């Protein structure tokens, strides 16, 4: 069966990496809209937030960490379960992998299918995929709600402030420095992927991050936000995208339109404002499909598989 290739299959250009210092304790590894990694350096240990997609890709993160500290990398924090965030974990040799209990449950329920789905959709993001060890990346510590980790005298709050990108979304917060690592709850000039999202919860979750009054924020994709004004812009842009998309889908669903009609309506409505954001064309079919499911009674995201990806893409883009 020949189907139109995912938009991401044409996305082959290697992105320029930036390694930005936010404070003596916080760094951001970003790459022009590719998935970001956060680094927290405490008195006696390093925490890495989201690992890159393969152990080979993680080596570049480790190299940059070693340019600024020789402290051991003891902790990995998974902001959520997506393969592109977790499959590089084995490279770091960390003592502990921390995730929310909801994230752990999602790995149990759909980790294998999601891994195959993501690798098939977006080959460039899984450079040297053969370096990923067999099986899943399993958390060694799970929490519900909130936990605090002390890296010596540095307090790191690890928090679930609400559902959004997934039900397991986790942020890291440095209260003493007002720095937030948001994972994919916040994107900047990059299209939110919402194929596993809770659209009705996401805006309030962003409000909960805003209520912390972060002065700097590392989003899931896009440049590190180093002023309160840029943080506010990142929160606002993500909130507007999620809200606009779901509002458009609900209009079509209420009229009884099928998914393809709703997709066209929503794509055309969103393109003028958001079409220049990274991976817009790639994300939209997944985002609209999840929003349509939610608007028509699927409270929880359905599992993406290779087969479902292909069928959905053919139906909407074929």
Give per-residue burial for 131-149: e unless 16+ CB within 10 Å, then b. bbeeebbebeebbeeebeb
Quick one: DSSP state of residue 225?
B
Structure tokens at 272: 């003028």
pLDDT tens-digit readout, 277-295: 999 999 999 999 999 999 9
Q: Does the pLDDT at position 5 exceed 80?
A: no
User: Mean of the pLDDT values across residues 168-197?
Assistant: 98
Q: How many structural domains compose the chain?
A: 1
Separation of alpha carbons 220 and 183, rounded Å? 4
- Decide: 244 and 273 in contact? Cβ < 8 Å: yes
Q: Does the pLDDT at position 10 exceed 70?
A: no
User: Mean of the pLDDT values across residues 53-79?
Assistant: 98
Q: Is the four-CA dihedral 134, 116, 165, 224 of positive or negative sign?
A: positive
Q: What is the pTM of this model?
A: 0.96
Q: Does the pLDDT at position 1 exceed 60?
A: no
Asked whether residue 208 is domain-assigned, the answer is: yes
- Decide: 302 and 112 in contact? Cβ < 8 Å: no
Separation of alpha carbons 158 and 314, rounded Å? 40
Structure tokens at 136: 């899943």
pLDDT tens-digit readout, 186-234: 999 999 999 999 999 999 999 999 999 999 999 999 999 999 999 999 9
Q: Which domain holds residue 296?
A: 7-317
Q: Does the pLDDT at position 53 exceed 80?
A: yes
Q: Does the pLDDT at position 262 exceed 70?
A: yes
User: What per-residue confidence (pLDDT) applies to 9?
Assistant: 62
Least confident of 5-9, 178-182, 302-306: 5-9
CA distances from 292 to 112, 284, 296 (A): 24, 12, 6
Q: Where are the beta strands (DSSP E) in the chain?
A: 18-21, 26-31, 34-41, 46-49, 73-77, 96-100, 141-143, 146-151, 154-159, 171-174, 179-187, 216-221
The three-class DSSP label of residue 267 is: helix
Which among 141, 119, 196 has a CA at the least distance from the CA of 164?
Answer: 196
Banded model confidence at residue 4, pLDDT cuts 50, 70, 90: low
Q: Is the four-CA dihedral 220, 223, 226, 227 of positive or negative sign?
A: negative
Domain at 18, CATH number: 3.60.15.10
Banded model confidence at residue 2, pLDDT cuts 50, 70, 90: very low
Asked whether residue 60 is domain-assigned, the answer is: yes
Asked whether residue 1 is domain-assigned, the answer is: no
Maximal C-alpha separation, the chain: 60
User: What per-residue confidence (pLDDT) applies to 295?
Assistant: 98
Least confident of 5-9, 138-142, 270-274: 5-9
Which among 200, 203, 205, 196 has a CA at the least distance from the CA of 289?
Answer: 196
Q: Does the pLDDT at position 71 exceed 80?
A: yes
Mean pLDDT score of the chain: 95
- Decide: 29 and 51 in contact? Cβ < 8 Å: no
Structure tokens at 164: 């959004």
Q: What angle do CA 274, 277, 284 make, to 5 degrees?
A: 70
The tokens 């997506």 sit on which residue?
82
Q: Is the four-CA dihedral 87, 235, 38, 142 of positive or negative sign?
A: negative
- Decide: 286 and 312 in contact? Cβ < 8 Å: yes
pLDDT tens-digit readout, 105-138: 999 999 999 999 999 998 889 999 999 999 999 9
Separation of alpha carbons 27 and 247, rounded Å? 36
Structure tokens at 84: 């592109």
Asked whether residue 2 is domain-assigned, the answer is: no
Separation of alpha carbons 271 and 282, rounded Å? 13
């Amino acid at each position: 069966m020949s189907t139109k290739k995912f938009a991401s299959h044409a996305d082959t250009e290697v992105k320029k990496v930036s390694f930005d210092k936010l404070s003596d304790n916080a760094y951001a590894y970003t790459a022009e809209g590719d998935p970001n990694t956060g680094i927290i350096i405490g008195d006696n240990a390093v925490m890495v937030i989201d690992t890159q997609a393969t152990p080979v890709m993680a080596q570049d993160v480790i190299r940059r960490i070693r340019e600024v500290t020789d402290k051991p990398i003891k902790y990995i924090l998974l902001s959520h379960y997506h393969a592109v965030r977790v499959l590089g974990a084995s490279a770091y040799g960390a003592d502990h992998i921390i995730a929310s209990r909801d994230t752990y449950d999602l790995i149990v329920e759909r980790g294998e299918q999601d891994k195959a789905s993501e690798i098939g959709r977006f080959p460039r993001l899984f450079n040297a995929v053969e370096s990923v060890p067999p099986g899943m990346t399993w958390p060694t510590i799970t929490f519900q709600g909130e936990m605090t980790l002390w890296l010596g005298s540095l307090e790191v709050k690890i928090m679930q402030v609400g559902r959004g990108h997934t039900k397991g979304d986790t942020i890291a917060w440095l209260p003493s420095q007002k720095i937030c690592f948001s994972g994919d709850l916040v994107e900047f000039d990059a299209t939110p992927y919402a194929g596993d999202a809770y659209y009705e919860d996401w805006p309030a979750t962003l409000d909960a991050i805003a209520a912390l009054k972060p002065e700097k924020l590392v989003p899931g994709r896009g440049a590190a936000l180093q002023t309160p004004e840029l943080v506010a812009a990142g929160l606002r842009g993500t909130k507007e995208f999620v809200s606009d998309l779901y509002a458009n889908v609900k209009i079509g669903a209420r009229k009884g339109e099928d998914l393809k009609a709703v997709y066209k309506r929503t794509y055309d409505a969103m393109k003028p404002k958001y079409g220049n954001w990274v991976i817009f064309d790639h994300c939209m079919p997944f985002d609209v499909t999840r929003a349509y499911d939610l608007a028509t009674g699927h409270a929880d995201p359905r599992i993406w598989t290779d087969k479902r990806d292909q069928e959905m893409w053919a139906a909407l883009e074929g």
